[in-house]
Amino acid sequence: MDQVNKLIPKRRFKEFQTSEAWEQREFGELADYKKGPFGSVLKKDIFVPKSDDVVKVYEQQNAIKKDSKLERYFITKEYAKKLNGFEVLPGEIIISCAGTIGEMYVLPSSAEIGIINQALMRVRVNERIVDKTLFKYLFSNMIDSFSRTHSNGSAIKNIPPFADLKPMKVRIPIIKEQHKIVVLLTNLDNLITLHQRKLDKIKSLKKSYLSEMFPAEGESVPKRRFTGFTEAWEQCKLLESVDNIIDFRGRTPKKLGMDWSETGYLALSALNVKNGFIDAEVDAHYGDQKLYDVWMSGNELHQGQVLFTTEAPMGNVAQVPDNKGYILSQRTIAFEVKKDLITENYLAVVLGSPKSFSALTALSSGGTAKGVSQKSLSGFYISVPRELKEQDEIAKLFMSLDNLITLHQRKLEKLQNLKKAYLNEMFV
């Protein structure tokens, strides 16, 4: 009995604290399992086109993509009658069992009644013993540990045979406690989905602001504006709103008779400048003090300065994150703005807008690998509000949206990790 006493989870709901330990069962007791019929029974020549007199054949993809609507093959109702042993109903679980194994999906109530094919397993959970949702967690834990012990490095390719699967041991609490656990896990799942949706929504919202906060084609003012600003906007040439473009086209350490170093000043090539941030992970190069001095002297980049990639990829815009000093490398240029005409924060926003991107695309040369030259930039116009204050407001809005997006990204990750922690602590 001692052994049994240990078999309670680390974290448990208060009301069940004094309940009995989790009971040992076999998977064979928890549900009825049925694998799809042999391939020869569902051959290509049996399939018929979709009509009212057919029954759908469920496939791996339904389980993997978690979508009951995907459909490719149908059989006649008449033939399906003969296959009724392989029928699957809404509410039942289908599990992929060849190749990508262990993907589980509960057919929703809207799903059609169908026949499972060879690569699927149908599970009818004995809901008097185990909660259906909990069963999914238990089953997937089992498959994980089975593959850990049975694989030789690579993932296993088949679901364990019934002879192995059914006697496998599993511990479960009483049904009431199961339900409670499921409530928590479902709650977390929903929270994660909702946060994903919220993240997507904020991203769309940013897009919608980008389309409404700048004048549309042929308009002189944008659809949406901060209060207190009434003056018309201007279309000005990008090159006329900057004093200088810093462009070290073709400059490499080799040409300066030097070499990259292990550490030091990060070189910003077009690969490191993403839309809105600097990515030091991809193909990062560093220059030592000497290289930095020779390369950048007189052109040092300052915090907030706008960076732009001219090709491969063309059109990424970011701002220099701090005053640590950076080397301006391949296919990246930086602008020195005319401070009385345009703010750096605003330039970054307007350059990164979809409208600018399509204008730049039209000006660019090349088929798949697009690129803009300084010459073609001369025909590039941006929309600018006259007042620097309005520019600031606009820039602030987009910065706050960007921050919101990052924060929600982090929150989403946090929730996902939290769920993992619960799964770990709430099961035996």
Partner 1 sequence: MITSEEIKRRLWDGANELRGSMDASRYKDYMLGLMFYKFLSDKTLEKYRSVDALGNITEDELVDEYINAKNEYGEELEKMIQSTLGYYVSPEYLYQMWLRDIKNGDFEVQKVIDSLNNFERTISNAGGGDFKGIFSSSTLDLTDTALGSNLNERSKNIQSLILLFADLNMVDLQKGDILGDAYEYLIGQFAMESGKKAGEFYTPHQVSEVMAQIVAKTQDITSIYDPTVGSGSLLLTVKKHLNLEDQRDLYYYGQEKNTATYNLTRMNLLLHGVRPEKMVIKNADTLGNDWPEDPKNPNEGVQFDAVVMNPPYSVKNWNKSGLKVSDPRFEIAGALPPDSKGDYAFLLHGLYHLGTNGTMAIVLPHGVLFRGSSEGEIRKKLIEKNQIDAIIGLPSSLFTNTGIPVVVIILKKNRNITDPILMIDASNNFIKVGKQNVLQEKDIAQIVDVYINKSEIKGFSHLAKREEILENEYNMNIPRYVESIETDIPHDVDAHLYGGIPRENIKDLKILNELVPNILKESIKEIRPGYIKLEKSIDEITKSIDNHHIIISMSSELKDKVKTYIDKHYDKLRNITGESVLKDLEEDMLSEVKAILNDYEYIDVYTAYQIIAEIWKNSLIRDIELIANEGFYNVGRQRQPNMVTKGSGKNKREEQDGWTASIIPNKLIADLLYSDQLKDLDSKSSKIQEIELEISELLEGAKIEDSIENESLADAIKRTKEDELGDSFDKKALKVELKVADKASKKYQLLKKVDTLLEHSALLSNEIKNNEKDLRDSVQNRIEELTDEEIDRLVYQKWFGQTDEKIVALIQASIKKELKILQELNDRYFDTLDGIDKEIGNLLLDFEALKNDLVVG
Q: List contacts with partner 1 (CB under 8 A).
A: 8-15, 17, 35, 37-38, 40-41, 43, 45-46, 79, 82-83, 85, 161-163, 183-184, 187-188, 190-191, 194-195, 197-198, 201-202, 204-205, 207-212, 224, 358, 361-365, 367-368, 375, 379, 425-426
H-run or E-run covering 412: helix 388-426
Provide the 3-class DSSP secondary structure of residue 257.
coil
Structure tokens at 98: 């060849």
CB 292 within 8 A of CB 268: no
What type of residue is 245?
I
Beta-carbon contacts of residue 369 (< 8 Å; ≥ 6 apart)? 311, 312
In the chain the first and final C-alpha atoms are separated, in Å, by 16
Q: How many CB atoms lie within 10 A of CB 326?
A: 25
Give the shortest CB-410-to-partner 1 separation in angstroms.
15
Q: Of the two residues 81 and 386, which places its CB atom closer to partner 1 in the complex?
A: 81
Give the position of tokens 């040439």: 237
Q: Of the two residues 192 and 266, which places its CB atom closer to partner 1 in the complex?
A: 192
In this structure, is the dihedral angle defined by the CA atoms of residues 64, 68, 73 and 78, taken in order, positive or negative? positive
Q: Of the two residues 25 and 180, which places its CB atom closer to partner 1 in the complex?
A: 180
Q: Of the two residues 247 and 344, which places its CB atom closer to partner 1 in the complex?
A: 247
Give the shortest CB-296-to-partner 1 separation in angstroms.
30
Q: Of the two residues 142 and 191, which places its CB atom closer to partner 1 in the complex?
A: 191
Give the shortest CB-360-to-partner 1 separation in angstroms.
10
Q: Where are the alpha helices (DSSP H) in 125-174?
A: 132-150, 162-165
Instruction: Annotate 192-239 with DSSP letters as a single string.
Output: HHHHHHHHHHHHHHHHHHHHHSSPPTT-SS-SS--TT--SPEEEEEGG
Q: Of the two residues 33 and 58, which places its CB atom closer to partner 1 in the complex?
A: 33
Give the shortest CB-317-to-partner 1 separation in angstroms.
19
What separation in angstroms does the CA of 343 have from each of 160, 210, 315, 317? 64, 17, 19, 15
Give the shortest CB-46-to-partner 1 separation in angstroms.
7
Instruction: Annotate 320-368 with DSSP letters as a single string.
Output: --SSS--EE-TTEEEEEE-TTT--HHHHHHHHTSHHHHHHHHHH-BSSS
CA–CA separation, 12 vs 16, rounded Å?
7
Give the shortest CB-105-to-partner 1 separation in angstroms.
21
Give the shortest CB-38-to-partner 1 separation in angstroms.
5
Q: Of the two residues 93 and 210, which places its CB atom closer to partner 1 in the complex?
A: 210
Q: Of the two residues 302 and 411, which places its CB atom closer to partner 1 in the complex?
A: 411
Give the shortest CB-81-to-partner 1 separation in angstroms.
10
